Amino acid sequence: MDNNKTHFSEKAFVYAIITIVLFIVFIVLKKLVGAEAVPSKNYAFISAVVMFLVVLFSFIGFIYNLRGIKEPKSFKKISSFIVNGILMILFVITTVVNLIEIYQTSASL
């Protein structure tokens, strides 16, 4: 590929790295709340923002993965596809489970 072409797999890899870092930040925050180093009211807001960014960046990365599907195979392409794909699947599963729970709760009222 020449330098003028857009490398979607490269962009997807960058988003995968950002997503992993944000996920690690979320885990560290959770540990800090458990150790009472961070107030729980601050944690609720911060963790919501961090997880929103994780979902957003994994979605953007997954879109770049799909756009770069015809690019040659590389470590960055495969690893970003795995990371972004797993996080997208987790997001979809979590959303579906929450929607089912909301439906069951509203049906029982």
> According to the model, what pLDDT value does residue 34 have?
81
Residue 6 has a pLDDT of 65
Nearest to 64 by CA among 8, 6, 1, 4: 8
pLDDT tens track for 65-76: 999 999 999 999
> Chain-centre distance of CA 104, in angstroms?
27
Tell whether 16 is covered by a domain: yes
User: Is 3 contained in some domain?
Assistant: no
Decide if 57 contacts 18 (C-beta within 8 A).
Answer: yes
2 occurs within a structural domain: no
Q: What angle do CA 61, 64, 70 make, to 5 degrees?
A: 140
Residue 33, pLDDT score: 83
Query: Which DSSP string corresponds to 62-78?
Result: HHHHHHTTTSPP-HHHH
Q: How confident is the model at residue 37 (pLDDT cuts 50, 70, 90)?
A: confident
Domain that holds residue 14: 8-107
Scanning the chain, the segments in alpha helix (DSSP H) are 8-34, 40-67, 75-107
**pLDDT of 1:** 46
Q: Higher confidence at residue 52 or residue 37? A: 52
Average pLDDT for residues 85-106, to the nearest whole number?
Answer: 90
Overall domain count for the chain: 1
Stretch 34-38: mean pLDDT, rounded? Answer: 78
